[in-house]
Amino acid sequence: MPDPGSLLRIAVLVAASLATAACRDSGSDGDRFALDGKLVVFNYRVATATFLVNLKPVGPVEDGQVAIASFEDPTGGAPIEVRQKIWPAMAKTTVTTPPLRCIVKGRPYGITIRIEDAQGRQVQAIETSITSSQDQTELPDRPLVVGPLYTPNPELAGHADGKLPDVEKLSCPGKAGGKAD
């Protein structure tokens, strides 16, 4: 029978192994960043929708690194490229698109992220996609409020739902008849 000190060492090693195994996947060997969240942000107050991706460092972060994200354009146009400086002292780097149109519920949109060093050399590539749980047609036609005091938008007077009856709808790919609802 092993001595009590050996049993304690074995228990500590087993606990440490289990704790390590329970840790979140931080990427493969050599990766410097892992995805730490991605979502479609619908801001009803200002009637905009954007894609957002968080990157978490899992390896050394060097000064001068940049994340270059290429997001599939929901309108069917050229990919939307966003460059974001990576700050070594920050726990996360967030990459956000400008406002988008034509986001369709349940459709995956491709994202490619390149991490480049200060000399512009690629040090990592990440491929993923993002899918919305809502359709962009649920957004109001105009911002619900305007100005710094959140004044109700006068253009929407009498239309509490934010939908205007005579607004020309944007033509979006993948919609019946080629029109957004």
* pLDDT tens string 37-80: 999 999 999 999 999 999 999 988 999 999 999 999 999 999 99
What gap in Å lies between CA 176 and CA 181, rounded to an integer? 9
Tokens 């290429």 found at: 70
What is the pTM assigned to this prediction?
0.77
Q: Is 171 left (phi over 0), alpha (psi -120 to 50) or beta?
A: beta
Q: Provide the residue ranges of all domains of the chain, joining segments of one domain with +.
A: 33-140
CATH class of 33-140: mainly beta
